[in-house]
Amino acid sequence: MRLTRRGRVVLVSAVSAAAVAGLSMLFVTSAAVGASASGASSEASVSDGAPPTVVVRDGDTLWGIAQRVRPGDDPRPAVHDIAKLNDLPSPDLTPGQELVLPDY
């Protein structure tokens, strides 16, 4: 089989595009794994059958925590569930406060 100059250019371009796509996926996957491992202390975590919890940071709101726990979903049910589960009398949160999260 004999390739023309144009055929070689197309073949090299296709192989290069596939290699770049593969390396990009590898990079994104490793970055996501690293980010989840490093954020485990401040985000929701599960260990030894204990319920998932989150530690309130300065500026956190129930709405923001609900969005972090259930990204892409309507946060209103999660806000209600978190407030009910933790017997919160008001939506005010204190930095350092530990909140138990519902199992979703």
Q: Alpha-carbon dihedral of residues 82, 87, 92, 97, nearest 10 degrees? A: -80
pLDDT at res. 12: 92
- In this prediction, residue 22 carries a pLDDT of 84
Domain 53-100 falls in which CATH fold? Membrane-bound Lytic Murein Transglycosylase D; Chain A (3.10.350)
Report the pLDDT averaged over residues 5-18: 91
pTM of the model: 0.51
Predicted confidence (pLDDT) at residue 104 exceeds the cutoff of 80: no
Phi-psi region of 59 (alpha: psi -120 to 50; beta: other; left: phi over 0): left
Angstrom distance (rounded) from CA 65 to CA 91: 12
